Amino acid sequence: MKDQQVFSSVARDSLKRQKFANQVLQFCLDYGFDGFDVDWEYPAQRDGDISVDKANFVLLLKELNQKLSPKGILLTIAVAAAESSANISYNVQSITRYVDFILLMTYDLHGPWDDSIGLNAPLYESDADQTASEKQLNVNASVHYWLRSGAPKNKLIMGMPLYGRTFTLRDATQTNVGSSHTGPGAAGVYTGEPGFIGYNEICEKKLSEHWLRIWETQQQAPYVVLGKHWISYDDTESLTLKSQFVKDLGLAGAMVWSIETDDFLGVCGKGKFPLLSTISSIVRDEVTEETSTTSRPTSSTEQIATEPSETICRSDGVFRDPEDCAIFVVCSGSTFFEFTCPNGLWFDLNTNTCNWPSQVNC
């Protein structure tokens, strides 16, 4: 059974909803998780009971909220961002009653599934957007749709991609947004998926190949071209603008998809995790201060400081606390992030993941 059918089946049955919520609660308590994210892509759109999925999604979130909230466990949802999709799947005012944060997936707004080339996550619309539906496919329009529909700012978290979407141009001389293509571009060397490429793969390509970077002025995002190869992506410049957008609107914060496609080894000359560091340095302080009185705190397992730990941060990278096997620190420039593994797990330096103590040399 497909994931969408499983969600639909659980959501429409009161006993299944209750059982699911109880199991989620117990799982979070057993492993020390401080939150649970629901990523149903997408209610009332495919492979389920589409006539009632929209209403049943609200009931599912209500059941989860009743179990998790008394224990101080966060409930979040990842949602379609664009109005054309979100309007089908969500009763915005109803779902916001039961969740702590709404994670807008403001990416994959364009890709090789489209008839023409477009930016993965444009901040604004462009002249190439002619129809009402096309004018919805940008970050600004998506965020404002959710705000108009009743999502409170202190629950709305804006997604930012640390990856790009690739196309194969039909004509190497026609590279503007809206030009024709013949399908997805070649797969990245690490991610291995045609039409998709991590920022780390893009920046490594630019070190060894002669890609032309073009800034799309109207949509406030870059793309790169080499022959018939065309890639839309986000870099530190576009993410700076998006992070400022989050601050200017007073949103709850930002989220990324996903950290393993950032330049986590720092091979491209801007330090480790340049994209994540850019977003964090702009968004974190002001957003945290603004929302602290109206929402529950974010993860208690993560801390941020503006000066690296003298005993742990010997350089940029990931290090384990010498006094506690469950604690690890990500050091980047003048900032470090401290994390604690879920209850019962230790940090494994060989895999950079939390693992069973029997598998960790500590």
Residue whose entry in the numeric block shows the structure tokens 């978290």: 157
Going by their DSSP bridges, the two strands 212-216 and 35-38 should be labelled as unpaired
Q: Helix or strand or coil: residue 149?
A: coil
Residue whose entry in the numeric block shows the structure tokens 């390509």: 205
Rounded Cα distance between 262 and 203, Å, is: 10
Rounded Cα distance between 119 and 156, Å, is: 23
Rounded Cα distance between 126 and 221, Å, is: 11
On the CB side of 154, how many CA atoms lie within 13 Å of its CA?
A: 12
Instruction: Look up residue 291 and give its two tokens.
Output: 């929302």
The reply to whether omega before 223 is within 30° of 0 (cis) is no
C-beta of residue 201 within 8 angstroms of C-beta of residue 191 = yes
Torsion angles phi and psi, residue 228, rounded to 5: -95, 5
Dihedral sign for Cα atoms in the order 14, 105, 192, 269: negative
User: Is 260 one of the annotated active-site residues of the chain?
Assistant: no
Instruction: Look up residue 341 and give its two tokens.
Output: 């593994």
Going by their DSSP bridges, the two strands 181-184 and 163-169 should be labelled as antiparallel
How far, in whole angstroms, is CA 144 from its chain's centroid? 18
CB count in 10 Å sphere of residue 7: 23
Residue whose entry in the numeric block shows the structure tokens 């989220």: 255
Rounded Cα distance between 240 and 222, Å, is: 13
Torsion angles phi and psi, residue 356, rounded to 5: -70, 140
The DSSP letter of residue 138 is S
Q: Which amino acid is at 158?
A: M
Active site residues: 41
